[in-house]
Structure 1
């Protein structure tokens, strides 16, 4: 439950981009205590897919990240999601670093080490400024429709009989509208990250069979060598 020191963050989706497990765990713990819904990604290269898949309403962004640094991620966020609040949380505490962050468009800049309660309070302020996108409950791609509120998927007016994992896989594929989704991201979102690289393949195979039973060749899941999977929808 929210405490007296700060408004509740109940229901808000917060993306934590942090490669240090201890810091990510502290942020996750304090924010979920305020009833926020949190997702953690460990490198800058995973941010784009997380945005497509999860539609966060606030991003907490470290600067020193593997694969793609936080400066690059921040510049990309300001181009593609100009109204999405971004709080930088970084060990880079020099004035020049802070100025660079604000020039690139961050909404707040906190230097490590930090007080977790301060992060909660600052997050509350950013989320209540009025520029936060409303939650996306339903997504469609052609005749496929995802109802996240009801945890259901439809082809036309036909309800698909999917397991939890199959629903999450289809949700991720539908949400990116024909782009390729990596195996790693599918494992993180549908299998809770507790799996090896090829463990998603049997679930994709069963999902293909269920889609074919209602849509025939109109809906297919293509394997893209070395990259992942892509959902193709005709009509």
Structure 2
């Protein structure tokens, strides 16, 4: 059975384009152009994931997210905000309401699909990749092992969590806020994340150069 994704987006052409590409990937996709229609659908036929625009003609997307998280039968549905609002306070508000990811317009469909798959993997709805190669390094997320050949590379639990998040979002920028809110899940300063990244790069040696700084945003992993 295909996983169901509800696309709540008031720009009809964009909504249909997103839905078309989701269907090409094997998902069942339904479009709602208004928040009221989305809430009605959520009540009657809860999806496996909610792609939610913030600026809708009737309901604020944040309000819909708050409704979903407050409803026992809906609270576990993963939410990805899709919006033109890229202010830091908007992103933090989205994550504080329980968003699983936040992507700003304009975006590539390839990036959106990758984020959908990553979120579905994280919540256990889609099979999660656990084996990665990074140059000469092998990473096993299940066993929490990082090795160069037979030699183990010892990472702290925090360093391993950050590396896992970067691997699962390979090629896509990951914000410091995302790492703090959704990966580390505790209150730390942005600078603390930077310190962990610096140590991680050092331990990975030559492959550590694959962790690239995205100025003013965060990091991405790409060789």
User: Which of 54, 67, 89 is the aligned partner of 1:63?
Assistant: 54
> Could you tell me whether the CA contact under 8 Å between 1:30 and 1:117 is conserved in 2?
no
- Structure 2 length-normalised TM: 0.53
Other-structure match for 1:96: 89
CA distance in 2, matches of 1:85, 1:24: 18
- Please show how residues 82-161 of structure 1 align to structure 2 within 5 Å: 82-130=75-123, 132=125
How far 1:124 sits from its partner (Å)? 0.8
8 Å contact from structure 2 (residues 78, 123) kept in 1: no
Question: What is the distance in 2 between the residues matched to 1:96 and 1:129?
Answer: 25
What displacement does 1:130 show?
3.4
Q: Partner residue of 2:63? A: 72
Query: Deviation per CA, 1:106-138, whole angstroms, max 9, x where unpaired?
Result: 100000001111111111111122355xxxxxx
SS state of the match for residue 27, structure 1? helix
Query: CA offsets per residue over residues 49-79 of structure 1, 9 Å max, x none?
Result: 1112222000000011012111110111111
Identify which of structures 1 and 2 has the higher relative contact order when contacts are C-alpha pairs closer than 8 Å and 6+ apart.
Answer: 1
Which segments of 5 or more consecutive residues in structure 2 lack a partner in the other structure? 126-223
Q: Deviations over 1:170-209 (max 9, x none)?
A: xxxxxxxxxxxxxxxxxxxxxxxxxxxxxxxxxxxxxxxx
**Do the aligned residues in 2 keep the contact of 1:91 with 1:111 (CA within 8 Å)?**
yes
Structure-2 separation of matches of 1:99 and 1:128: 23
Distance 1:22 1:113 in 2: 14
CA pair 131-75 structure 1, distance change in 2 beyond 3 A: farther
User: Any residues of structure 2 matched to 1:22-37 within 5 Å, and which?
Assistant: 22-37=13-28
User: Match for residue 147 of structure 2?
Assistant: none
CA contact (8 A) 1:18 1:40 kept: yes
Corresponding residue SS for 1:29: helix
Q: Distance in 1 between matches of 2:48 and 2:120?
A: 7
Equivalent position SS for 2:47: coil
Question: 2:40 maps to what in 1?
Answer: 49
Q: Distance in 1 between matches of 2:24 and 2:69?
A: 29
Structure-2 separation of matches of 1:47 and 1:78: 14
RMSD: 1.7
Match of 1:206 in 2: none
